[in-house]
Structure 1
Amino acid sequence: MLSLKRFTNPDVARAFANIVWLGLERLTQIAVAIVISGVLARYFGPDVFGKWQYANTLLLVLSPITWVCGAEILVPTIVNRPPQELGTVLGSAFALRIGVSAAALVLTWIGIALGATDPLVGAMLAGLVVTMLFREPFVGVINAWLQSMTYSKPQLLASMTTAAIKALLVFLLARAAFAPAAFGWLWALESAAIGAVLLLYFRRRHGGKLGWHVDRALFRHFATAGTVFWLGLICMYLFLKLDRLMLERTISFADLGRYSAAQQLNENWITLALMLSQTIAPAFVYRVQETAQLRRNLVRLFALTALVMVAGALLLDALAGFIIGRVFGPAYEGAIGIFRWAVWLSVPAGLEAIGNLVVLKYQAKYVLLAKWLLALAVAFAVNLVAIARFGAYGALLGLAAGYLAAACVNLYYIRFKLAS
């Protein structure tokens, strides 16, 4: 009866429905990403696919620059301000994000024009980076408003719908033998469509008016608040893509394409598994105030995560040849061995993610920054030595060392925090 009462509580029911939609959206995105990768890998071939993956790596390294004034700052501001100030809050955040995003876009285009990267990589990246102009300024700001109401369904529906349409367009463009550089603009079109849908939804909910205004004081606050978290996220994403950034200098694009094919499948598996930690975090970590109970919960979460990751890695290791062959085709046979080793990275990645929940619970921003700086430095040092000796497998060693360094920082912080 007690559990039934909890479920019928409007706030709990809304949160549960939101989690369900988040799960559906993540599963859709993972499925679409695998389908698109398979289509492009077969159409491009290993060499061009390696350049495509490298362009996406550069995008994912550049994108965190636009994450100024993150959700950890914007959502609480929306919640704590009176409803009549919503337009000022969103308008100030939008002005900051659009300015930073536009500057990042222009600087990237200038770098491409000056020949900072391979010509085909640059041509692909030119379209991909346009997503920065829409993702954070439009999608990110309105999604923060939706998060403040625990109602992400409009954004998630738009994201799932456009992802499915993008997959269809990728298939049609590949059948029509479009130039590889043209595909990057599909990602720009997708982000623009999501931004437009959410903007129209917001206006409809507010009497047909946007009502966004810029407040200079709030603008300055958004520009400085959360800077440490922002830098930490930049370091984290740079760490996650450092393997491909360093491999590009030492191996061919064809080999990079095979490595990236294996890693993309592995990253989708890790993302799917880590949804577990994101789902259970509020109930088992964030809302727990008693230290003893939090310790018990963490022990159980670490054990459960290790069990899930090891079981998944064993299964994927055994099926590596079948999975690579089905998704990417015979030209990517060299990715099988890499994938079999890469899936075991999910174990330290999962344990790090659980430990990170405590860092986020106590808003330990300097710990977060120090952790990813250390992981980045350790991975860079290991890559310098290991890539020269072991090639692509050396990059996996760098990732493993970085994950272990980050996990050690989490464990040290947990012992310090829970002991005090």
Structure 2
Amino acid sequence: MKMLSRAGNPDVARALANIVWLGLERLTQIAVAIAISGLLARYLGPDTFGKWQYANTLLLVIAPVTWVCGAEILVPTIVNRPPADTGRVLGSAFVLRMGVSVLALALTWTWIAAGLIDPTVGAMLAGLAVTLLFREPFIGVINAWLQSMTYSKPQLIASMLAAIVKAALVFALVRMAASASSFGWLLALEAAGIGAVLVLYYMRRHGGTLGWHVDRALFRHFASAGTVFWIGLIGMYLFLKLDRLMLAHRVSFAELGLYSAAQQLNENWIALALMLSQTIAPAFVYRVQDKAQLRRNVLRLFAMTAALMIAGAPVLDALAGFIIARVFGPNYAGAAEIFRWAVWLSVPAGIEAIGNLIVLKYQAKYVLLAKWLLALAVAFVVNLIAIPRFEGYGALIGLAAGYVAAASVNFYYIRFRLRA
């Protein structure tokens, strides 16, 4: 780390140090996610594991509802305002997010109580949904503050430690033969723990007090300016989970469990692209005003991300059978072939993530909305045609088509915005 601090450009030094910590955190999260998935897959069996994955999919579809005033609005606002305004910025965002999160949780519990979903799925989702109260109001708000400084280390350390503790508790619950619904409440406990640590860290950096206040003008700005971005992000997550939502109506939960096992591993691989884009955005995109320099930066980021994904996908393809067998056991052998095809989705996903940075930099909210609505519509149509014919492979085709549609919108906007 000392070598990084000696770099000539302080923004580069901070970004490089951040990448190191993000890499450590991502490796930890991947290792823990794989270990936990393997434990639960073997313990629950394909059918119940498929229900567990479906409950998580439903949570990830519901969660974007709490992303009002997301990082694409909050981080640039913090960066462009004096430090004295930070308490008002974060306080206004917190109140808005908490209000929406409480409403989302209440509606989710009402839906479960009405018996509109499978009872086992509902029991799992009931605990998982409590994470809504902690992820965006606490973790998300403070993480935006950390991102604005290109300094994610505190949040990453808290996440790593919480992940390790979570893995130990999952192992303990498996040994105790706990019910499937218990694991949902465990994830809620993890979110609460990370949120508490980050609040204490923020208070320590600000004289022992939180100092958050609601600014009515900022509150109204976040509620209105962020609405289009918010709807766009909801569209994005619907697109990312549409494969499992539509597949669940065509195959058994056991088959859904095989597909979800492959996709869970693949999503950890794709997260590398998101990790790169999140850590480099403030220093190499958001703070760069010269168009020529920005074009050069974006081209380099495209090349770096594409090279990483193209280099890694063949390795994972070749090792798919070994990885699936070691992680999930012999009952999940059918997931290996799906995983072989799924890893190649990392190439368009990574390219899309980098192109999206320009959309966020210029706050092109209608471009973001149009992009994800287009990707969602394309994936929906392709899934309608492909899933009945090819099942899980058809869902992968739908994802690929959606990523290509989203990346195409990014390229068009970049060409328009950064032209000489």
TM-score, normalised via structure 2 length: 0.92
Alignment of 1:335-350 (within 5 A): 335-350=335-350
Greater Cα offset, 295-304 or 161-170: 295-304
Bigger CA drift: 161-170 or 284-293? 284-293
Q: What is the deviation of 1:312?
A: 1.7
Q: Aligned partners of 1:355, 1:6: CA distance in 2, in Å?
A: 30
Question: How far apart in 2 are the matches of 1:52 and 1:344?
Answer: 25
Asked if the contact 2:69–2:93 (Cα under 8 Å) also holds between the matched residues in 1, the reply is yes
Task: Measure how far apart 1:175 and its partner are.
Answer: 1.3
In structure 1, list runs of 5 or more residues that go unmatched.
Answer: none
User: CA–CA distance in 2 between the matches of 1:237 and 1:42?
Assistant: 28
Q: Could you tell me the percent identity over the aligned residues?
A: 78
| 1:34-64 CA-partner distances (Å, limit 9, x unpaired) | 1111111111110000000000001111111
CA contact (8 A) 2:15 2:280 kept: no
Quote the offset at 1:300 in angstroms.
Answer: 4.6
Query: 2:312 aligned with 1:312, yes or no?
Result: yes
- How far apart in 2 are the matches of 1:93 and 1:215? 9
Quote the Cα distance in structure 2 between the aligned partners of 1:277 and 1:203. Answer: 28
Offset at residue 301 of structure 1 (A): 4.1
What is the CA distance between 1:297 and its match in structure 2?
Answer: 4.9
Q: Distance in 1 between matches of 2:12 and 2:42?
A: 45
CA distance change for structure 1 residues 193 and 278 in 2, over 3 Å: closer, same or farther? closer
1:88 CA drift (Å): 3.0
Residues 69 and 223, structure 1, Cα contact 8 Å, conserved in 2? yes
The alpha-carbon deviation at position 298 of structure 1 amounts to 4.4
Matched residue type, 1:43:
Y
Tell whether 2:341 aligns with 1:332.
no
Q: Using the alignment, how far apart are the partners of 1:155 and 1:302 within structure 2?
A: 27
Match runs of 1:168-317 below 5 Å: 168-281=168-281, 285-286=285-286, 289=289, 291=291, 294-295=294-295, 297-317=297-317
CA distance in 1, matches of 2:101, 2:275: 28
Matches within 5 A, 1:19-418: 19-281=19-281, 285-286=285-286, 289=289, 291=291, 294-295=294-295, 297-418=297-418
Q: Distance in 2 between matches of 1:225 and 1:233?
A: 14
Quote the Cα distance in structure 2 between the aligned partners of 1:202 and 1:358: 29
Change (3 A) 1:241 1:293: same
Deviation at 1:8, TM superposition (A): 5.3
CA distance in 1 between counterparts of 2:236 and 2:92 reads 27
Q: Which amino acid aligns with 1:340?
A: R
Once the two structures are TM-superposed, the CA of residue 273 in structure 1 deviates from its matched residue by: 4.3
Assess if the C-alpha contact under 8 Å between 2:4 and 2:17 holds in 1.
no
Q: What is the Cα deviation at residue 274 of structure 1?
A: 4.4
Work out the CA distance in 1 between the residues paired with 2:301 and 2:345.
18
User: Which amino acid letter does the alignment assign opposite residue 138 of structure 1?
Assistant: F
Asked if 1 retains the 8 angstrom alpha-carbon contact of 2:150 and 2:283, the reply is no
Answer yes or no: is the 8 Å Cα contact 2:34–2:327 preserved in 1: yes
Counterpart AA for 1:139: I
C-alpha change, 1:69 and 1:184, in structure 2 (3 Å) is same
Q: Deviation of residue 390 (structure 1)?
A: 1.2
Judge conservation of contact 1:27–1:272 (CA < 8 Å) in 2: no
Q: 1:385 to 1:157 in 2, by over 3 A?
A: same
Partners of 2:150 and 2:296 lie apart in 1 by 28
The one-letter code sitting in structure 2 at the alignment partner of 1:255 is E
Q: What is the identity, as a one-letter code, of the residue corresponding to 1:405?
A: A
> CA, structure 1 residues 170+11, in 2 after alignment: closer, same or farther (shift >3 Å)?
same
Change (3 A) 1:192 1:281: closer
Distance 1:103 1:160 in 2: 29
Listed as ranges, the gaps of 5+ residues in structure 2 are none
Stretch deviating more after TM superposition (166-175 or 68-77): 68-77
**Which residue identity does 1:179 align to in structure 2?**
S
Aligned in 2, Cα 1:307/1:226: closer, same or farther, shift over 3 Å?
same
1:191 positional shift: 0.7
Q: How far off its partner does 1:415 sit?
A: 2.6
> Aligned AA for 1:155?
Q
